[in-house]
Structure 1
Amino acid sequence: MVKISSGLVVETSERLLTASEFQNLANVPPEVEWFANIENANTRRAYRNDVRDFMRFAGIQQAEEFRLVKRSHLIAWRKQLETRKLEASTVRRKLSAVASLFDYLCECNAVPFNPADGVKRPNQGTNEGKSPALGDAEAKALLEAPATDTLKGLRDRAILSILLFHGLRRAELCSLAVGDLQSRRGVLHFRVHGKGGKIRFLPVHPHSLQRISEYLEHAGHGDNPGNALFRPIKNSSGGLDEALTGHGVYKDVVRKYARVLGLDPSAVCVHGLRATAATNALDHEADIAKVQEWLGHASIATTRLYDRRKTKPEDSPTFKVNY
């Protein structure tokens, strides 16, 4: 036996890490720890590319070299990003990625301050988000576009209903399992697995509940809570029990019916439907703080990008001009 501390004793045979492995983990730089702690795959991919971009610019080759970075390096990088004609939102994201890294280094006492603090971010250029929202008539047409007499049509009708009535992200929709339909205080809810491992519960709209019931009745996999809610109808690899992919939702559902209806391709994407749901909720007097929780936004500033109540086309002075 090895005594670790007062009252705590463990058998040496219980040790899972070798002494060498233990020492190696103890020597992991905090820069590496920061990246390992990012759970969302999309965020990891974006932040990895952004930090690598800065490393190439600054000539950083070792993680420890981040501790030599000053605010002037980041200001110079920002100017270089702007000369590349990148969108303001892209520049902001890249600066945010590096700022997040230095926040972690500050917490670990690896650096005395965050050099990204005080580095001005470019304005968004607009008070609205980039994803245009569909009009009510367009949304209704999209909801009714899939067939009602095929399994694919029933599945797609349920998918479009969830996107337009609940504003889920593509990954959130794909991660839904049958068991994520749960009753809370007598009302059926979705248990949504959001960004950063956060879980939120959203009441299921009656429109969506009806379509999900019709789909599961014909699909036949609704008796196992662990089953993916939405699955492929056809798959060349034979994996019909797996969850439908985000690419499948975008290409084979959303864009497919948008093309059939002749809708604006720039407006009809999965995020465009999320913008449509948020805009519609705000137009119908939903509280913006509640919409923030509903969408799973960390900051209400992000939710405000969907608030288009002051920019309704019909309220524009354009339509007040009368010669």
Structure 2
Amino acid sequence: MTESEGPGEAWSAVLAAYEQHLRAERDLSAHSVRAYLTDLESLALHAERLGVHDPRELSIRTLRSWLANLQTLGRARTTIARRATSARVFTLWLARTGRAPADAGALLASPKAHRELPVALSEVEVRGLLDTTAASLVDDGPRGLRDLAILEVLYATGIRVGELVGLDIDDLDRRRRVVRVFGKGRKERSVPYGLPASEAIELWLDRGRPSIANDSSGAAVFLGVRGSRIDQRAVRRIVHERLAAVDGAPDLGPHGLRHTAATHLLEGGADLRSVQEILGHASLGTTQIYTHVSNERLRAAYKLAHPRA
């Protein structure tokens, strides 16, 4: 059997039931469901090559063989760790629903994933980004107003690019300067933003958006050049192009501005739990990576400034 043929009948039936469970009971996004199923289809194909044609026969030995094979194929540690997590969640579901006699993945360990520290802009680089964008407003017209508002909102709130493009006008509480965001799994949170972002939003909504909007605009806050809701690719292009005009700034995308917002919040004295809520992280551990970034920057500043560093 080749990988393109997909898993056999027994595995396919169970994976179809699991997909229904993920969509209906766990309320996961289509992207997350697809990621889970891709991981488990890989497991199913490996298991069948070992003669395990029914998920009820799955064992810890088969699971470990699968992860070892992924390592042999040169898969990244992060990929292997994610697939191990997918397998553990799946085998627990198998056992709980009576589709397997026991939880085969209960003792399955994940390889420790090496976490790269996220790259963040300095405050000087952020000022350069926003100032150069603001300076181009006369030449760029509505597009410049939109780009400035996008950059200000991304940096002020730390929201994800997918959350930004999904914003509707009613999601903005313009008086209180709070934006309602629908994050992963459609979880709702409210994120404050400051006066510079507020001013950029007002300029865009009052002077920029009306000149681009048309029947396809709907309630979208940010629009593409043809008047419909802007897409993620366009926002990424905007961030890359605007950063390219800043001398010495690293080439980052929207997620880099999210990293930057989190890092600057912590460096400014915000507590970790508040930053977690602002970013919409399910786990505090995910937010803690930014404390390492702040510590690295402190160490670098110490080495530069202290006479006995």
1:112 Cα deviation from its structure 2 partner: 4.4
Q: Does residue 261 of structure 2 align to residue 269 of structure 1?
A: no
CA RMSD of aligned residues (A): 3.0
SS state at 1:256 partner? helix
CA distance in 2, matches of 1:210, 1:109: 57
User: Is the contact between residue 178 and residue 193 of structure 2 (CA under 8 Å) also seen in structure 1?
Assistant: yes
Name the residue aligned to 2:165.
Answer: 174
Q: Does residue 41 of structure 2 align to residue 52 of structure 1?
A: yes
Read off the aligned partner of 2:265 and give its amino acid letter. A
1:305 Cα deviation from its structure 2 partner: 1.3
Q: Does residue 194 of structure 2 align to residue 194 of structure 1?
A: no
Q: Say which of 255, 272, 276 aligns to 1:288.
A: 272
Q: TM-score, normalised by structure 1?
A: 0.77
Structure 2: tracts of 5 or more residues without a match: 1-13
CA distance in 1, matches of 2:202, 2:191: 17
% same residue: 26
Q: Say which of 209, 224, 233 aligns to 1:247.
A: 233
Structure 1: tracts of 5 or more residues without a match: 1-26, 235-239
Q: TM-score, normalised by structure 2?
A: 0.81
Read off the aligned partner of 2:31 and give its amino acid letter. N
Read off the aligned partner of 2:225 and give its amino acid letter. I
SS state at 2:177 partner? strand
Read off the aligned partner of 1:32 and give its amino acid letter. E
Give the number of aligned pairs: 282
SS state at 1:104 partner? helix
Q: Say which of 131, 138, 146 aligns to 1:144.
A: 131
User: Is the contact between residue 167 and residue 277 of structure 1 (CA under 8 Å) also seen in structure 2?
Assistant: yes
Distance 1:66 1:145, change over 3 A: farther
1:157 Cα deviation from its structure 2 partner: 0.6
The runs of at least 4 consecutive aligned structure 1 residues that moved more than 4 Å come to: 315-323
Q: Does residue 74 of structure 2 align to residue 82 of structure 1?
A: no
CA distance in 1, matches of 2:17, 2:31: 21
Q: Does residue 121 of structure 2 align to residue 134 of structure 1?
A: yes
1:98 Cα deviation from its structure 2 partner: 2.3
Q: Does residue 105 of structure 2 align to residue 116 of structure 1?
A: yes
Q: Say which of 192, 196, 199 aligns to 1:207.
A: 196
User: Is the contact between residue 78 and residue 114 of structure 2 (CA under 8 Å) also seen in structure 1?
Assistant: no
CA distance in 2, matches of 1:104, 1:166: 37
Q: Deviations over 1:117-139 (max 9, x none)?
A: 3222122334xx55311111112
CA distance in 2, matches of 1:32, 1:42: 12
Read off the aligned partner of 1:170 and give its amino acid letter. V
